[in-house]
Structure 1
Amino acid sequence: LELIVMLTNLEEYSKVKCSKYWPDEVRGARAFGNITVQHVSEKRYSDYIVRELKITKQPTNSEGQPIVENNGVAKRNGDIKSDGESAPTSPREAKDTGESRT
């Protein structure tokens, strides 16, 4: 697994849409049993966020697996992008975007 594309906000109109599995702070870590998710970096764009995460399974995978997560930030009320950057529209484009921007 190299890429996660999340197409929704965590919460919308006071309704939980998905669970947050990464730590709040960059360089933070969060454990789920013997699996640890480390928040390596984050870059914000007008309508999406690219996060670099590192997944480690203890004790067998001590090096960890780097993962890029593209999180589309849903616009409400017809918001218009200001910087001309648009969210990736396919898994391939999302992977390319993550590689070139992180």
Structure 2
Amino acid sequence: MQETCGDFWRMCWEVNTCTIVMMTKLEERTRIKCDQYWPTSRGHPESYGPVTVTLTDIQQLATYCIRTLHLQRTGNSERREIRQFQFTAWPDHGVPDHPAPFLQFLRRVHAMNPPEAGPLVVHCSAGVGRTGCFIVIDSMLERMKHEDTVDIYGHVTCLRAQRNYMVQ
């Protein structure tokens, strides 16, 4: 929804997000899955409500893309950098062919997220399927590091109490 792009960028600014994880393509099977909320061309800023966004770099890899964006809020001289990681090898209503590319993607997301950053922003088309899987896999890998246990069912149940239909 193009009309919510300004709200999206304002949220990213307010919570000091440095990393956006996009788990969908803009279009899949001829259906629009996500509106483009960043500028198309490098070095050409676009305003989204109170935030001006400039695309400064694109790194295209086999299963994902990393975009570097600079944000500036209207009336504020501070500039912030945000990286958007777009995973493109997870089809809508499907699963990736192999887990390795996704796990490499997840490691790269964390390796490039600054320690002082606010929360990750994770989205797909509906915000429940691939988004939920990303959150659960990420959480369970972190839990294994600290507790040496996993509870996928319990974690999904907890997430579904906060967001209906999480993890389809």
Could you tell me the TM-score, scaled by structure 1's length?
0.75
- Determine helix, strand or coil for the equivalent of 2:25: coil
Cα distance in structure 2, aligned partners of 1:94 and 1:22:
19
- Residue 7 in structure 1 maps to residue 23 in structure 2: yes
Q: Residue in 2 aligned with 1:73?
A: 88
- Determine helix, strand or coil for the equivalent of 2:111: helix
Q: Work out which structure has the larger RCO, using CA pairs closer than 8 Å and 6 or more positions apart in sequence.
A: 1
Cα distance in structure 2, aligned partners of 1:48 and 1:98:
16
Provide the aligned length of Structure 1 versus Structure 2.
92
Cα distance in structure 2, aligned partners of 1:70 and 1:23:
15
Q: Deviating runs (4+, > 3 A) in structure 1?
A: none
> Shift of residue 27 of structure 1?
1.2
Q: Residue in 2 aligned with 1:54?
A: 70
The one-letter amino acid of 2:35's match is S
The runs of 5 or more residues in structure 1 that have no matched partner are: none
Q: How many percent identity over aligned positions?
A: 25
Residues 50 and 98 in structure 1, CA contact (< 8 A), matched pair in contact too: no
Cα distance in structure 2, aligned partners of 1:98 and 1:47:
19
Identify, as 1 or 2, the structure richer in strand.
1
Q: Residue in 1 aligned with 2:78?
A: 63
RMSD across aligned positions (CA)? 2.7
Highest Rg: 1 or 2?
2
Cα distance in structure 2, aligned partners of 1:70 and 1:58:
25
> Shift of residue 63 of structure 1?
2.3
- Determine helix, strand or coil for the equivalent of 1:74: coil
The one-letter amino acid of 1:47's match is T
Q: Residue in 2 aligned with 1:43?
A: 59
Distance 1:51 1:70, change over 3 A: same
Residues 18 and 113 in structure 2, CA contact (< 8 A), matched pair in contact too: no
The runs of 5 or more residues in structure 2 that have no matched partner are: 1-16, 115-168
